[in-house]
Structure 1
C-alpha cells in the first residue's frame, strides 16, 4: 500500500511540474486583406509607371530624369549659375500648374496663385515637396508623379480623384534662408 501511495505521489509531482501551454485563439485571422491590398497597389503602380513611360517614349527629344524618390522630371529652364537649393525651413516662393497624364489642365498657375512654402514644415504633397528640393531659383521643371507621390488614395477632395497620376510644371521664383 505504501508503494502505491509513493507511486501516486510521484506521478502527481511529475504531472504538476509541467510548464503551462499557451492557449490558442478560437479563430485565426489571416493577412489576406493586407496581401490583397499590397497586390492591388503593386498592380496600380505598374499601370501608372507604364503610362508615364509611354509619355516619355512619345517625347524622345526630352531628357527625362528618374528621381530617387520614384517620379520623373525634366527641366524646361535650367539655371547653371546658382548652387542654392532649398533646405529644411527655407521659404520657397513658387508657381505651378497641375495636369492629368492626358495633358488636360486640372489647376492652372493662375488659379493656384503664387505659393510660399516653408520646406518640410508645411503640408504639401510628397512628390512636389521632394521635387522642390531638386530645383534652384529661376528654374522651371516638369514633374511626372505616380499617384502615390501625388494625392494618392484620397485625392485633393476637389478636382483630383482617387489614385490619379499627375504632371506638374513648377517654377521656383525665390528661396529665402530663414
Structure 2
C-alpha cells in the first residue's frame, strides 16, 4: 500500500511540474505610456517631414535628396568623383554651422570650431555622424535633420529648443583614410 501511494505521489508531482508556466506581469500603465509615446513621436516626425517639404520647395538653388536615415541633403559645393566618402575608422576634420529650419543662424562656424573625429568610433550627435558620410573632401553639404538625429526632446539648453529640426551646413576639410 505504501509503495502504491508513494508511486502515485511521485507521478502526480512529475506531471504537475511540467505544466507550470511563469506568468507575465501586466503593467498597463507602462503599455499606455509606450503607446502614447510612439504616437507622439510619429506625429513629430510627420510634422518635421512636412516642414522639410516646404523648405525644399522654397529652395531654388539646391537640389535635395532624401537619405535612408530620414534626413535630407544637398550639395552647395560638389567636387569631382575622384575622392571617396569617409568610412568607419577614417579621421575627418570638418566645420559646420547650425540654423533653424527657416535658415536663421543659431551657431556659426567660429562658435563651434573645427571638429576632428574618427568616423563611427567617437561620440558625436547622430546628425553629424551620419551627415559627414555623405561628403567628399572639399565638399559643402546642406542637411535638413529631424530632431531625433539632433538634440531631440532635450534641446541644447541654450539656442536649440526641444524637438527642433535643424539645418546644418557642413564642410569636409580633411579626410585621412584608416
Structures share a fold, TM > 0.5? yes
Q: Does 1:113 align with 2:110?
A: no
Q: Secondary structure at the match of 2:134?
A: coil
**TM-score, structure 1 as length reference:** 0.83
CA contact (8 A) 2:62 2:76 kept: no
Q: Which residue of 2 aligns with 1:50?
A: 50
Q: Give ranges in structure 1 of 5+ residues lacking alignment.
A: 1-8
Q: Which residue of 2 aligns with 1:19?
A: 16
Q: Which residue of 2 aligns with 1:138?
A: 138
Partners of 1:64 and 1:82 in 2: CA distance: 22
Q: Secondary structure at the match of 1:156?
A: coil
Number of aligned positions between the proteins: 168
Q: Which residue of 1 aligns with 2:27?
A: 29
Q: Give ranges in structure 2 of 5+ residues lacking alignment.
A: none
How far did residue 23 of structure 1 move? 7.4
Partners of 2:60 and 2:81 in 1: CA distance: 27
Partners of 1:84 and 1:16 in 2: CA distance: 68
Partners of 2:12 and 2:89 in 1: CA distance: 67
Give matches, 1:40-119, under 5 Å.
40-119=40-119
Larger mean Cα displacement after TM superposition, 120-129 or 37-46: 120-129
The alpha-carbon distance between structure 1 residues 17 and 160, as it changes in their structure 2 partners (threshold 3 A), is same
**TM-score, structure 2 as length reference:** 0.83
Q: Which residue of 2 aligns with 1:4?
A: none
Higher helix share: 2
